[in-house]
Structure 1
Amino acid sequence: EDAANNFARGHYTIGKEIVDLVLDRIRKLADNCTGLQGFMVYNAVGGGTGSGLGCLMLERLSVDYGKKSKLSFTVWACPQVATAVVEPYNTVLCVHSLLEHTDVTIMYD
């Protein structure tokens, strides 16, 4: 099941179901690191999973690993090649989390 190009579905419905599993896997990898410096997150903000679940994951990483660096490499929604009419809305909803929970965001158009 996917988020159907819907930020709210990716963040509040589907995301809530799997974010703990994702963070558990990240936690196991982080425990194996001797000098964890931070996280690099790759996502696209046009769809529901990349924007909704991606932002939820960043929020939870900020809570669990507060002072660690978080870099985001984000594919920005582009109206010329958009596959869904809601891509601009997903992007706007995701921007708040990117601003609040990342140290650096590199955007690709």
Structure 2
Amino acid sequence: MLRECLSVHIGQAGVQIGDACWELYCLEHGIQPDGVVLDGGKDRVAHKMELAGASFDSFFCETRAGKHVPRALFMDLEPTVVGNVSFLLWCTHSGLMIRLTL
């Protein structure tokens, strides 16, 4: 059974707290804002094996291009709040990365 989480952040406070949390998740797991995982100078095979057993797969989706995007939904009626989120808001649709805008 797969264990995957979807974070839903609603309203100004929810979006701002969610932004801080996701920024921290990315820092803790070495995920750059463009979705690439830092390898720390390891060889390619060791890096792929480490990613296969990574615990962050519960919170991030991996695209066909090898980029990791957070499983999160940010909602607010005021577009400027969601527009100020510091990490990139992307979703995957049919393997394509699409920027979410209001």
TM-score normalised according to structure 2 size: 0.28
Higher fraction of strand = 2
Relative to the length of structure 1, the TM-score reads 0.27
Higher helix share: 1
